[in-house]
């Protein structure tokens, strides 16, 4: 018979049961709600009218994500491995801005970081396994960094020449408006 911790682990980390699927769907709803809140808060007229509602909703979402993050740590077989994994760091970064804004009063610049919650969809859609594939792209870019640097240097020089030509044309009165 499974312990409560094992049952919760199965629900949180697996989606092959009704509970796991319901958990993933609820999490996806909260992620989408959070992203919508970020977008709506960025529109001054809407934010001015619904500021209190948005604030309460954001706290509810942040508390839900905090509980979920704590539960993932609690039920993980290797909690530190989860905490320092890419998805663990994304989970932490997605809840920190609201707490930092609360304690640092006015740190709203960090609020945009909440959009990192969207990256949590990778876990839900089982796309996390492809994150490792990005290492191949990083390795290819590292191997080609000299070629890329030469190309970028060429682009910068080309832009400088074009800017100089445009400036010279303007100085000579050749620019037609």
Residues 84 and 22 in one domain: yes
What DSSP state is assigned to residue 132? T
Q: How many residues does the chain have?
A: 177
Containing domain of residue 152, as a range?
135-171
Is the residue at 177 inside a domain?
no
Residues 67 and 97 in one domain: yes
Phi, psi of 33 (to 5 degrees): -60, -45
Picking from 118, 125, 105, the residue whose alpha carbon sits closest to that of residue 38 is: 118
Gap between the Cα atoms of 34 and 61, Å rounded: 7
CATH number, position 109: 1.20.120.350
Residue-by-residue pLDDT tens, the chain, 177 positions: 678 888 888 888 776 778 888 888 888 888 888 888 878 888 889 989 998 998 899 899 889 999 999 999 999 989 999 898 877 888 888 888 888 777 765 555 556 666 666 666 665 665 555 556 666 777 888 888 899 889 889 898 888 888 877 766 666 665 555
Gap between the Cα atoms of 1 and 8, Å rounded: 13
52: left (phi over 0), alpha (psi -120 to 50) or beta: alpha
């Amino acid at each position: 018979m499974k312990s409560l911790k094992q049952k919760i682990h199965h629900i949180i980390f697996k989606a092959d049961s009704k509970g796991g699927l319901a958990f993933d769907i609820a999490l996806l709803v909260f992620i989408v709600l959070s992203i919508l809140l970020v977008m709506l808060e960025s529109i001054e007229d809407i934010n001015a009218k619904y500021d209190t509602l948005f604030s309460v909703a954001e706290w509810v979402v942040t508390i839900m994500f905090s509980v979920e993050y704590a539960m993932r740590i609690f039920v993980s077989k290797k909690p530190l491995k989860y905490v320092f994994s890419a998805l663990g760091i994304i989970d932490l970064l997605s809840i920190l801005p609201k707490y930092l804004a609360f304690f640092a009063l006015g740190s709203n610049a960090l609020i945009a970081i909440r959009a990192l919650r969207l990256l949590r969809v990778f876990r839900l859609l089982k796309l996390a396994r492809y994150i490792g594939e990005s290492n191949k792209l990083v390795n290819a870019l590292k191997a080609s960094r000299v070629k890329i640097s030469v190309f970028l240097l060429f682009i910068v020089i080309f832009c400088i020449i074009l800017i100089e030509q445009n400036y010279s044309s303007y100085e000579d009165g050749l620019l037609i408006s």
